[in-house]
């Protein structure tokens, strides 16, 4: 399974990459901002691991909303240390997405990736 990591904190991104690869996943890219995210989409990820807060004032929720508007329904797992109700409600409104709280427990992340990917791939894009 190909995973794209979008995370503004490089240490977290690299730790996630090492752990995911150690579990047999292929990390096809790591981005910290909107430009890196857009550049990495051409690699056709199966799942996107998206931080809510990105570099240069970027917002992962906004990026995924734009992605959905363009017709791309790649499953997204948001990571956030922000438990604000508004942010969580915004994520719940995004089709084919789920959330993992930071600090991320890697076993929880592994389970979430498998569960979300299976569930989301069974739904039709734009219909789920």
> Residue 122 — pLDDT band, cuts 50, 70, 90?
low
**Separation of alpha carbons 41 and 92, rounded Å:** 22
User: Cα separation of 17 and 39, whole Å?
Assistant: 18
pLDDT band at 102 (very low <50, low <70, confident <90, very high): confident
> Sorting pLDDT into bands at 50, 70 and 90, what band is 127?
very low
Distance CA 117, CA 107 (A): 15
- Between residues 19 and 94, the one the model is more confident about: 19
Q: Which domains are present in the chain?
A: 2-122 (3.40.50.2300)
Question: pLDDT digits over 35-86, tens only?
Answer: 999 999 999 999 999 999 899 888 999 999 999 999 999 999 999 887 665 6
Give the residue from 122, 117, 124, 126 showing the smallest Cα distance to 71. Answer: 126
On the question of pLDDT at 126 being above 50, the answer is: no
Reported as a pLDDT band with limits 50, 70 and 90, residue 8 is: very high
pLDDT at 123: 54
| Mean pLDDT, rounded, for 90-117 | 83
Q: What pLDDT score was predicted for residue 12? A: 92
């Amino acid at each position: 399974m190909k995973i794209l990591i979008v995370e503004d904190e490089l240490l977290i991104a690299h730790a996630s990459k090492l752990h995911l690869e150690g579990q047999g996943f292929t990390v096809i890219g790591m981005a910290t901002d909107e430009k890196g995210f857009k550049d990495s989409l051409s690699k056709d990820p199966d799942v996107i691991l998206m931080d809510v807060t990105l570099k240069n004032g970027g917002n992962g929720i906004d990026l995924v909303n734009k992605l959905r508007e363009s017709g791309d329904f790649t499953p997204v797992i948001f990571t956030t240390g922000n438990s604000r109700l508004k942010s969580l409600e915004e994520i719940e409104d995004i089709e084919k997405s789920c959330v993992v709280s930071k600090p991320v427990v890697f076993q929880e992340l592994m389970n979430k990736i498998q569960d979300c990917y299976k569930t989301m791939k069974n739904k039709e894009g734009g219909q789920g």
